[in-house]
Homo-oligomer: A and B are copies of this chain.
Amino acid sequence: MSSVDKALRILVHLGDGPASLDDLASALEVHKTTVLRLLRTLAADHFVHRDGAQRYHLGARLFELSSRGLDQHEVRTIAAPHLAAFNAEHGRTTHLSELVGSEIVYIDKLESHDHVRMASRIGLRAPVHSTAAGKVLVSDLPPAELERVLAGTGFARATPNTITTREGYLAELARVREQGWAHDAEENEPSINCIAAPVRGASGRAVAAVSVSVPDIVMNDDALLALVPSLLAVTERISGEHGWRPTPRGHP
């Protein structure tokens, strides 16, 4: 195990909450002298912060880098006011995600107005085959990239509804291309339904997806599907601002 690995594991562990030197040494099964030295290095550049009670916390540098990193995702900046308005109007958990490698990453999230919240968060990764956003992003890939992503996808079953074969997924992608949006009916998480639509850039390619996720106990699937026109409208607005021009045949 490299020292860089250990330092990163310290950061990941502190994501669960503040910890003492001893806590960290035990949790990581690394000698506390080693942990102290790593913490010293991390603290020197503000990646961690030690408080008056000798507890270590994730530090300001992480917040700063995250903020800078997210700012590098231009579509996020453009989408933000539109998503805020969409969320203000519909009050549902709304995500903006991008395809990264063979997974999607949530790069923005607007919370539901309900007391029932979703456990997702900015920075979390999710599988492409079982999420509506994943389907939207993958359905628009050129063939070579589609192959690459499919090769990196395990089609792991998350729920009884998960699509678990390449063939099944390709058929679903064709459906998504046809209708211009995607649906995930308890395929990624039990009791959670989701719809998603693409945000396009100047090249016409989907560069991000906007998705709306709702627990079944809050809103049934049919009611969620009624949001598709609004979702398509907001993604079209964002796309337009991101340089997308509809082809002369109009959008799907």
Residues of chain A having any CB pair with chain B under 8 Å = 2-5, 7-8, 11-12, 14-18, 38, 41-42, 45-47, 49, 52, 57-72, 100-101, 105, 107, 121-125, 145
Contact = CB atoms under 8 A, between A and B. Distances in A.
B122 A63 contact: yes
Nearest to A47: B8
A123 B63 contact: yes
A14 to B, nearest CB: 7
Contact of A72 (B7, B11, B58): B58
Q: What are the nearest 4 A-B pairs in CB distance?
A: A64-B123, A63-B123, A66-B66, A58-B69
A113 to B, nearest CB: 10
Nearest to A69: B58
Total copies of the chain: 2
A145 B101 CA distance: 48
Of the candidates A59, A60, A70, the one having the most CB atoms from chain B within 10 angstroms of its own CB is A60
Given A3-B2, A41-B8, A42-B4, A100 B60 contact: yes
A151 to B, nearest CB: 14
Contact of A124 (B2, B59, B64): B64
B45 A2 contact: no
B38 A69 contact: no
A107 B14 CA distance: 17
B60 A123 contact: yes
A123 B15 contact: no
Given A4-B3, A42-B4, A49 B101 contact: yes
Contacts of A17: 72
Contact of A61 (B42, B52, B63, B123): B123
A48 to B, nearest CB: 10
Contacts of A68: 15-16, 58, 121
A193 B68 CA distance: 25
Contact of A7 (B4, B61, B71): B4
A2 B66 CA distance: 23
A248 B162 CA distance: 60
